[in-house]
Every structure is written in C-alpha cells, then in structure tokens.
C-alpha cells in the first residue's frame, strides 16, 4: 500500500482507561471532551480479547503524539491503569499476541519506521503505554500453538 504520509514511527499506546471501558465511550470522550470530531487518537485499537479494530485509514493522521501526528501510525491496547488509576501494564495475553502481530505486519509494510512507545518521545510526561516497547519486542516469545 502506498501511503502519501511519511511514516517514521509506529507508536504503541494504552488507552489509560479501566479495562472494561467501551470503545464507544472512548470515541465519545475524544469527540466531546477533546473536541477531535470523528478523528480518533489511534489507527488501531486492541480489545481485551485480542480483537484489533481499525479506527482510521493509515493514510490519515490520528491524534496520537503531539507534534508528530503526520509521521505516526498509532496502536493502542485497552487498559494501562490499575484500580487507583496508576500506570500498569495489564495487557492480556491475547492483547500482547495481537499487538506483536500488528507491529510485525506494520514494520513489513513500513520498513523504515521505528517502533516506539508514546513515552519514548521527547517531552512526553505520561507513562503511556506503561511498558518498554523495545525491550518487550526483543524478548517477546509468541506462543506458536
């Protein structure tokens, strides 16, 4: 697929919501609280059961990384906080598996893009996505059953 955008980064996020939050309520939050209209925060959204939902065409900019939106494809897993609202990598096994597969697929299509976590960008003060993406990718062992 030809993408007219210059994709430099494949960026991993968490939604920073409880794990039972619905995609519909997240979309409503973007629209009504952030004023983003129908533009989502991510291109891909990973449900607890590992279902990957595409929210936006890769040719379009999502809101994802301040000042870098034109260069990013963003993927988020549902979750990322504990009951007190503190940052926590609480990905399900299905989410990890789906995330790994999606990243592999994207890096094949965008071989020049670097895979980063949101927090790896300069000036980002959030913990998003609550784990070290590069270390995880290096050490993840997909279950090949």
Residue ranges that bind Zn ion, judged by CB under 5 A: 13, 118, 128
Minimum CB–partner distance for residue 52 and Zn ion (Å)? 17
Could you give phi then psi for residue 65, rounded to 5 degrees?
-130, 115
Shortest Cβ 93–Zn ion spacing (Å): 22
Closest distance of CB 13 from Zn ion, Å: 3
Helices (H), the chain: 23-28, 93-109, 133-139
Would you say 14 or 98 has its CB closer to Zn ion?
Answer: 14
Closer residue to Zn ion, CB minimum distance, 96 or 118: 118
CB-nearer residue toward Zn ion: 67 or 108 = 67
The CA distance from 2 to 98, in Å, is: 24
d(CA 15, CA 45) in angstroms, rounded, equals: 9
Judged by DSSP in three states, 12 sits in: strand
Nearer to Zn ion, 11 or 98 (CB): 11
CB count in 10 Å sphere of residue 118:
25
To Zn ion, the closest distance from the beta carbon of 125 in angstroms equals 11
């Amino acid at each position: 697929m030809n993408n007219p955008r210059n994709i430099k980064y494949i960026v991993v996020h968490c939604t920073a919501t409880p794990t039972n939050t619905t995609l519909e309520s997240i979309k409503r939050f973007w629209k009504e609280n952030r004023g983003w209209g129908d533009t989502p925060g991510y291109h891909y959204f990973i449900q607890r059961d590992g279902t990957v939902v595409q929210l936006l065409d890769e040719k379009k900019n999502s809101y994802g990384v301040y000042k870098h939106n034109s260069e990013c494809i963003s993927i988020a897993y549902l979750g990322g906080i504990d009951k007190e609202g503190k940052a926590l990598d609480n990905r399900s096994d299905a989410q990890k598996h789906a995330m790994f597969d999606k990243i592999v697929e994207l890096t094949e299509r965008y071989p020049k893009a670097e895979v980063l976590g949101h927090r790896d960008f300069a000036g980002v003060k959030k913990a998003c996505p609550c784990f070290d993406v590069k270390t995880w990718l290096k050490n993840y062992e997909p279950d090949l059953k």
